[in-house]
Amino acid sequence: MDIEEPLLSSPATTTTTSSSSSSADEIGINTAASTLTILARLTMLLTLVAISLWANHEASMNIDISIVNSAVGSRAGRRFDLNFVSNGKANRIVHHASRFVEQALYPEEAYPRKPISHIILHLASNDLDSVTSVSPGAGSGDYTIHLSPSLMSAADGDDALASEVHRAVARLRLWDAQRAAPSPLLEAIADYLAVAAGFFPQSSNKTCNVSSYWSAEFLQYCEGRRNGFIARLNRGMRERWSESTVDDALGSPVRQVYTAFHEPETGYVMESVNSTSSSAEVRQEAMRAKERRL
């Protein structure tokens, strides 16, 4: 009787199946590798773009800061050196004030920045007519903040200097309509920005007459009526000035808004740094600035 050979799988068939499976695996591996490579390159590209944008943003905000003490040897001069110069605190105050004011006045690229390249913080040798003053320097973008030595005798010297420097930085960063904008308005905006940063207002105008209605309190009221009012007003003062500049930024006649502000039944009270009239970003930066001043 013939014995049949057992059926065995064809070597060729087995080899073909193994080869086909191996090829599919290799294709899958290569595809995955290609995908990972593409993702890695895309991630690297996006990272480089982000770094570039961040670097350009930081470069646009870089400012040279110099400290000058003309009261050396006096009590005020010694206190200034000890409390603000030797520890780098004066530089930090100017830098943080500049960052905060920029964020408030130029929230987007559509708000042209006033070019500032160098700020000199100068303690004068004698008391000035005002606690601080601002003057342009010899070069374009150079400004000097003059401090009166009397500022060093304040009981809360650190906060007093930080508050005044903040207002001075705001004044030099504001557009002034080719020096045609009213000084009381510019001072009020500077005061408003100091209040937004957590400092006390210099004055209230609830008792002022209509001819001098600019104050931080009224400007905060306007900001509360239309968010972004201060930034739009500053942008409007870049090249020209008229009362309509304020009307346009506010979206209403400013005199009507002032009348509403003065109505006794409004019960308006100027709010602190946590006021909703300021943007969330500005309020957060204000809180960080206060922590850094400590």
**What are the tens digits of pLDDT across the range 53-89?**
454 444 445 789 999 999 999 999 999 999 999 999 9
If asked whether residues 185 and 245 sit together in one domain, one would say yes
Total domains in the chain come to 3
> Average per-residue pLDDT in the chain?
80
If asked whether residues 47 and 105 sit together in one domain, one would say no
* Token pair of 264 as six digits: 């006794």
Residue 145 within any structural domain of the chain = yes
If asked whether residues 31 and 45 sit together in one domain, one would say yes
If asked whether residues 188 and 293 sit together in one domain, one would say yes
If asked whether residues 94 and 190 sit together in one domain, one would say no
Mean pLDDT of 30-54: 67
| Distance in angstroms (rounded) separating the CA atoms of residues 193 and 66 | 23
Give Cα 182 to chain centroid, integer Å. Answer: 24
Decide which of 202 and 186 is more confident. 186
pTM: 0.70
Residue 72's contacts (CB-CB under 8 Å, 6 or more residues apart) are: 81
Give the alpha-carbon dihedral of 198, 161, 67, 152, to 10 degrees.
-170
Q: How far is CA 43 from CA 46, 47, 49, 55, 143, in A?
A: 5, 6, 10, 18, 42
Determine the pLDDT at residue 291: 55
Domain final position from 60, 82, 110: 60
| Distance in angstroms (rounded) separating the CA atoms of residues 261 and 252 | 13
Question: 201: buried, middle or exposed (CB in 10 Å: 19+, 13-18, 0-12)?
Answer: middle
Range of the domain at 24: 20-60
pLDDT band at 223 (very low <50, low <70, confident <90, very high): very high
If asked whether residues 164 and 180 sit together in one domain, one would say no
Coil, strand, or helix at residue 55?
helix
If asked whether residues 209 and 289 sit together in one domain, one would say yes
Residue 82 within any structural domain of the chain = yes
Q: Please give the full DSSP string across 151-185, using - where no structure is assigned.
A: GGG-TTHHHHHHHHHHHHHHHHHS--TTTTS-HHH
Which single residue is written with the structure tokens 């000084």? 183
Residue 147 within any structural domain of the chain = yes
Determine the pLDDT at residue 268: 54
pLDDT band at 213 (very low <50, low <70, confident <90, very high): confident
Span 109-157, pLDDT tens digits: 999 999 999 999 999 999 999 999 999 988 889 999 999 999 999 888 7
Residue 198 within any structural domain of the chain = yes
Give the burial string for 105-123 (b: 16+ CB within 10 Å, else e): bbbeeebeebebeebbbbb
CB of 66 closer than 8 Å to CB of 118: yes
Residue 4 within any structural domain of the chain = no
Domain final position from 173, 191, 223: 173
Residue 200 within any structural domain of the chain = yes
If asked whether residues 112 and 37 sit together in one domain, one would say no
Determine the pLDDT at residue 262: 82
If asked whether residues 56 and 68 sit together in one domain, one would say no
Decide which of 25 and 14 is more confident. 25
Question: 81: buried, middle or exposed (CB in 10 Å: 19+, 13-18, 0-12)?
Answer: middle
If asked whether residues 52 and 120 sit together in one domain, one would say no
Mean pLDDT of 198-223: 74
Angle, alpha carbons 38-44-49 (nearest 5°): 125
Question: 258: buried, middle or exposed (CB in 10 Å: 19+, 13-18, 0-12)?
Answer: middle
* Token pair of 2 as six digits: 């013939």
